[in-house]
Amino acid sequence: MKCLMTGNEAIARGAWEAGVHYASAYPGTPSTEILENISEYKEIYSEWAPNEKVALESAIGAAFAGGRAIASMKHVGLNVAADPLFTSAYTGVNGGLMVISADDPGLHSSQDEQDNRYYARAAKIGMLEPSDSQEAKDFVKIALDLSEQFDMPILMRLTTRVCHSKSVVQLGEGRTEVPIVPYTKKDKFNPIPAISKQLHSKVEKNLRKLEEYANTTPLNTVIWGSKKVGIVSAGAAYQYAREVYGEEASYLKLGLTFPLPMKKIREFAAQVEQLIVIEELEPVMETEIRAAGIACVGKDKIPNEGELNPDILRKALLGEVHESIEYDASVVANRPPVMCAGCPHRGFFHELQKLKNVVTVSDIGCYGLAPKDIAICMGGGFSVAHGAQKVFNREGSGKRCVGIMGDSTFFHSGMTSMLEAVYNCSNVLLVVLDNRITGMTGHQQNPGSGFTLSEDPANITSIEDVARALGVKHIRTINPLKLDEVKSALAWGMDFEEPAVLITRWPCVLKKLSQADRDEFGNYKSVNMVDPDKCIGCKACVRTGCPALEYHADTKKVTIDRSQCVGCDVCAQVCPKSAISREVK
């Protein structure tokens, strides 16, 4: 049977067909839907982990116990999981272990566009790169087979285009039930220095064997066309190259991209007039090919910033520019991304930005769309604020830092950074924006939500209890949509010369409310309206940033889009003329 699938959906299907026993992940675009779809296959035990490091460590444990295991994450998540990744290259596996990195060329939803192919080289593990959904499915079984054959974890590197684009997939006949390999106690699972020295030699030996395999496997295949141009490529970049050159070039399409099949590349290069290496982001393959003494064209013409596409390649390599529709860019409104209408974070940030001499250190999440001064990485909201505060105190600037992160981020890596501030007696205000779900990646459960990935009831981890256990003495929980409450709490938090924790607790406006949510928050959604006779067009409400509010230059009045408004009342609280009120039904 054939189906139209995204790459992420296809990987989930591939995991089921390949007999995977265990899968873990932390949600992060563009990888999120991999585990969400795996969870639909009940033969695979799947779960959300608090962060990527824990997800990979759990998958390693499952593989050591003899099961086939997968850990998936976005590219920056692999930074978090790098510690166990490198060590697992030494230990090897028992059951197959596959690590999925979904890279994000073009920064569609990320703070950087690092190229995680370097991780395969640094950790010295094999790497596969599918170019469409069919390969995404098929490569799962291949990765697990290779993992078991060569006794190493296998990295699968995806990109946003492969993750989210749909193509036709020929499904397998069913699930292959792979027996769990019996666990036996082995020295390699205990990599103390004396053992690791021996394991390192094994890693080098296995990598050489895998390179021999790379030169013979059909995963790396030649597609002959014109021999004037030969193209070495992989992943989505291969699809772009085919669209540009068609039959006017020959292709060495690589599926197993580390270690590179250098013998095969050399033979291919000898049969074409010009060799071009087409890859997204960094010159990973090109550097090795040039180092092997093989002349090629690559990043001297092709950009290493942003996502590639056929138009970029056509212009860079052929000097051709396709005609496009002309338009007047000056009339296009500059609309930056904003938080949703009714977002519980809006009221908090509206009051926070009024404070003077305050440095706002945010984190990675929906609240990253709010006004802020600094944002670095998951869990950095507290520790960056702490470090900055120590320097501000030293210079006597009088500046105060407010560190901010969401509930899922707090469980991901915020607890240790909160401990850093507590342990080192930092006078920072630490704010956890608890919207009762993992918001930005599409409402995945987390340790504070009360449910597992499979929607089974789970233990609820209280943010207040964790903060108190870490040694925080001053803790307050508020409704962030009550502006007076927010203003009072901010003043309270700034009044201490030691860490204070402020928790804003209100559900994401898009969240499907559980019964516990209804019991706690009630049926709060409504619609607001503007009285045109009272509205003076001052735009105070518009400055809250709510997309449901629209100012009309002709009438100098504001109206509210009923399809977006949920009656959060932030706009009503800032209106100086009380022109906004609940719509009477």
Task: Write the pLDDT tens digit of every residue in 143-178.
Answer: 999 999 999 999 999 999 999 999 999 999 999 999
Q: Is the pLDDT of residue 356 over 70?
A: yes
Average pLDDT, the chain: 94
Q: Read out DSSP for 212-254? A: HHHTT-TTSEEE-S-SSEEEEEEHHHHHHHHHHHGGGSEEEEE
Tokens of 33: 């839907």
Read off the pLDDT band of 322 (50, 70, 90): confident
Alpha helices, H only, 332-379:
345-352
Q: Is the pLDDT of residue 96 over 70?
A: yes
Predicted pLDDT at 585:
59
What gap in Å lies between CA 235 and CA 242, rounded to an integer? Answer: 12
Over the range 396-422, which residues count as b (16 or more CB within 10 Å of their CB) and which as e?
eeeebbbbbbbbbbbbbbbbebbbbbb
Hey, what's the torsion of the CAs at 143, 47, 31, 512, to 10 degrees? 160
Of residues 63, 238, 34, 45, the one with CA closest to residue 144:
63
Q: Which helix (H) or strand (E) holds 408?
A: helix 407-409
Listed in order, strand segments (DSSP E) in 247-343 are 250-254, 256-258, 274-278
CATH 3.40.50.970 fits 345-521, yes or no: yes
Q: Please list, in sequence order, all residues whose beta carbon lies within 8 angstroms of the beta carbon of residue 467, skipping any fewer than 6 positions away.
A: 418, 430, 432, 475, 501, 503
pLDDT mean over 370-397 = 91
Identical fold between 2-179+190-213 and 345-521:
yes
Contacts of 446-453 with CB under 8 Å at 24 or more apart are 446/48, 446/50, 446/407, 446/408, 446/411, 447/50, 447/411, 448/407, 448/408, 448/411, 450/514, 450/516, 451/514, 452/47, 452/48, 453/35, 453/36, 453/39, 453/46, 453/47, 453/48
Q: Is the pLDDT of residue 357 over 90?
A: yes
Burial class (CB in 10 A: 0-12, 13-18, 19+), 542: middle
Question: Considering Cα of 552, then 557, then 561, then 567, what sign does the dihedral take?
Answer: positive
Predicted pLDDT at 483:
97
Q: Which helix (H) or strand (E) holds 502?
A: strand 500-505
Read off the pLDDT band of 541 (50, 70, 90): very high
pLDDT digits (tens, 9 = 90+) for 101-140: 999 988 888 888 899 999 999 999 999 999 999 999 999 9
Strands 500-505 and 474-478: parallel
pTM value is: 0.91
What gap in Å lies between CA 494 and CA 492, rounded to an integer? Answer: 6
Total Cβ atoms within 10 A of residue 554:
5
pLDDT digits (tens, 9 = 90+) for 30-55: 999 999 999 999 999 999 999 999 99
What gap in Å lies between CA 362 and CA 385, rounded to an integer? Answer: 9
**Domain ranges within the chain, ordered by starting residue:** 2-179+190-213, 221-318, 345-521, 528-582
Q: Please list, in sequence order, all residues whose beta carbon lies within 8 angstroms of the beta carbon of residue 159, skipping any fewer than 6 positions away.
A: 30, 102, 103, 104, 105, 235, 236, 280, 307
Predicted pLDDT at 109:
81
Strands 97-103 and 126-128: unpaired
Tokens of 1: 């049977």
Predicted pLDDT at 331:
83
Higher pLDDT, 292 or 440: 292
Tokens of 309: 């596409």
Question: Considering Cα of 376, then 377, then 379, then 383, what sign does the dihedral take?
Answer: negative
Q: Which helix (H) or strand (E) holds 474?
A: strand 474-478
Burial class (CB in 10 A: 0-12, 13-18, 19+), 347: buried
pLDDT mean over 216-234 = 97
Higher pLDDT, 522 or 279: 279
pLDDT digits (tens, 9 = 90+) for 555-567: 999 999 999 999 9
Q: Is the pLDDT of residue 220 over 80?
A: yes
Predicted pLDDT at 371:
84
CATH for 528-582 is 3.30.70.20
Q: Is the pLDDT of residue 142 over 90?
A: yes
Q: Is the pLDDT of residue 405 over 70?
A: yes
194 DSSP assignment: H
Assign a CATH topology to domain 2-179+190-213.
Rossmann fold (3.40.50)
Mean pLDDT lowest among 73-87, 186-200, 317-331: 317-331
Q: Is the pLDDT of residue 362 over 70?
A: yes
CATH for 221-318 is 3.40.50.920
544 DSSP assignment: G
pLDDT digits (tens, 9 = 90+) for 485-536: 999 999 999 999 999 999 999 999 999 888 888 999 988 889 999 999 999 9
Q: Please list, in sequence order, all residues whose beta carbon lies within 8 angstroms of the beta carbon of residue 522, skipping any fewer than 6 positions away.
A: none
Question: Considering Cα of 304, then 310, then 314, then 317, what sign does the dihedral take?
Answer: positive
Strands 580-582 and 528-530: antiparallel
Q: Is 549 left (phi over 0), alpha (psi -120 to 50) or beta?
A: beta
Total Cβ atoms within 10 A of residue 327:
8
pLDDT mean over 347-367 = 92
